[in-house]
C-alpha cells in the first residue's frame, strides 16, 4: 500500500492585495503572541536564578516557547516515521501547555497585590521540573525508542518460540523392567527403561532435565559410570 503525498503550490505573482495583508497579519499575530508569552516565561525563569546566573534562565525557554517551535519544526521536517511524528507532535502540545502555564503564572503574580505562597512556588517548581523531565524522556525515546521496541519484540518472539517448543515437545515416559540391571534411554520411543531401583531418578530427570548436560551424562551417573 502506497501513500500519496499531496503538495500545494501558491502562485504569489497573481495573488490579490488581500493575500499580502492576511500574510502580514498572520506573521504579526504569530510573532507577537510568541514574544508576549515568551517574555513572561523568561521573566519567571529569571526569578529562579541568582543575578550572576541570569544567562542560564534563557535555557528554560527550551521547555516552553522555544521548545514549542523546535518540536513543531521537528514534526514538520525531521520526523520520518510515525513513531517520531507521534513524539514530536505530543511534545509540541506539551511545550505549548507548559508555555501557557509558565507565562500565565508570571502574568497573575505580576498583576497580583500579594506574593505567591511557598506552596505555590513549590508547585510551580515541580511543574517546570516535570516539563524538563518529559523533554528528556522524549529525546531519549526519539533517539533509541525504535531500538528498544525491536529489542523487546525480539525477546517476546524468542520467549513465545521457547514456550511453543516446550509445549510441543514429546513427553518422556518411564518403563520399569524388574529384569534390568541398568537404565537406558530409547530415542525411538522417547522413553527410559530401568529397574525399579532407578525409577525415581529417571522421573526426577524428566522433571528437571536442565540439571544435566545430556541424557547420556545422566545415564552414566545413575548406572555408576
Instruction: Tell me the pLDDT tens digit for each residue of 13-25.
Output: 788 889 899 999 9
Give the residue from 128, 146, 164 where a domain finishes.
146
The residue with greater pLDDT, 199 or 161, is 199
Q: Is residue 189 part of a domain?
A: yes
Query: Do 126 and 69 sit in the same domain of this protein?
Result: yes
Q: Which residues pair with 176 in a beta bridge?
A: 194
Query: Do 66 and 127 sit in the same domain of this protein?
Result: yes
Return the half-sphere exposure (C-beta side, CA atoms, 13 A cut-off) of residue 115: 4
Query: Do 40 and 83 sit in the same domain of this protein?
Result: yes
Query: Do 49 and 87 sit in the same domain of this protein?
Result: yes
Query: Do 184 and 141 sit in the same domain of this protein?
Result: no
Give the residue from 111, 129, 146 where a domain finishes.
146
Q: Is residue 11 part of a domain?
A: no
Query: Do 131 and 206 sit in the same domain of this protein?
Result: no
Query: Do 190 and 87 sit in the same domain of this protein?
Result: no
| pLDDT tens-place string over residues 23-68 | 999 999 999 999 999 999 999 999 889 888 989 999 999 999 999 9
Report the number of distinct structural domains present in the chain.
2
**What pLDDT, on the 0 to 100 scale, is given for residue 1?**
45
Query: Do 186 and 125 sit in the same domain of this protein?
Result: no
- Give Cβ neighbours of residue 8 (< 8 Å, ≥ 6 apart): none
In degrees and rounded to multiples of 5, residue 29 shows phi and psi of -65, -50
Q: Is residue 211 part of a domain?
A: yes
C-alpha cell, 192 = 527410559
Query: Do 123 and 55 sit in the same domain of this protein?
Result: yes
What pTM was computed for the model?
A: 0.62
Boundaries of domain holding 140: 23-146
Query: Do 208 and 131 sit in the same domain of this protein?
Result: no
Query: Do 31 and 141 sit in the same domain of this protein?
Result: yes
| pLDDT tens-place string over residues 77-102 | 999 889 999 999 999 999 999 999 99
Q: Is residue 5 part of a domain?
A: no
Query: Do 182 and 131 sit in the same domain of this protein?
Result: no
Is residue 41 within 8 A of residue 106, CB to CB? The reply is: yes
Return the half-sphere exposure (C-beta side, CA atoms, 13 A cut-off) of residue 178: 0
| pLDDT tens-place string over residues 152-186 | 778 877 777 666 655 555 778 888 888 888 899 98
**What pLDDT, on the 0 to 100 scale, is given for residue 152?**
77
Q: Is residue 181 part of a domain?
A: yes
**What pLDDT, on the 0 to 100 scale, is given for residue 164?**
61
Give the residue from 105, 130, 146 where a domain finishes.
146
Amino acid at each position: 500500500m502506497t501513500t500519496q503525498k499531496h503538495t500545494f503550490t501558491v502562485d504569489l505573482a497573481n495573488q490579490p492585495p488581500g493575500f499580502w495583508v492576511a500574510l502580514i497579519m498572520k506573521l504579526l499575530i504569530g510573532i507577537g503572541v510568541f514574544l508576549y508569552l515568551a517574555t513572561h516565561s523568561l521573566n519567571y525563569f529569571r526569578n529562579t536564578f541568582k543575578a550572576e546566573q541570569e544567562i542560564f534562565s534563557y535555557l528554560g525557554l527550551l521547555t516552553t516557547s522555544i521548545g514549542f517551535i523546535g518540536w513543531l519544526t521537528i514534526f514538520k521536517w525531521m520526523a520520518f516515521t510515525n513513531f517520531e511524528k507521534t513524539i514530536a507532535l505530543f511534545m509540541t502540545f506539551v511545550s505549548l501547555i507548559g508555555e501557557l502555564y509558565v507565562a500565565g503564572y508570571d502574568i497573575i503574580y505580576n498583576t497580583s497585590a500579594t506574593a505567591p505562597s511557598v506552596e505555590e512556588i513549590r508547585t510551580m517548581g515541580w511543574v517546570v521540573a516535570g516539563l524538563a523531565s518529559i523533554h528528556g524522556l522524549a529525546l531519549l525515546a526519539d533517539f533509541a525508542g525504535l531500538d528498544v521496541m525491536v529489542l523487546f519484540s525480539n525477546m517476546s518472539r524468542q520467549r513465545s518460540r521457547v514456550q511453543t517448543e516446550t509445549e510441543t515437545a514429546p513427553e518422556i515416559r518411564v518403563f520399569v523392567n524388574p529384569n534390568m540391571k541398568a537404565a537406558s534411554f530409547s530415542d525411538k520411543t522417547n522413553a527410559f527403561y530401568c529397574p525399579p531401583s532407578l525409577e525415581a531418578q529417571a522421573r526426577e530427570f524428566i522433571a528437571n532435565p536442565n540439571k544435566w548436560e545430556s541424557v547420556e551424562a545422566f545415564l552414566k551417573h545413575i548406572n555408576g559410570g
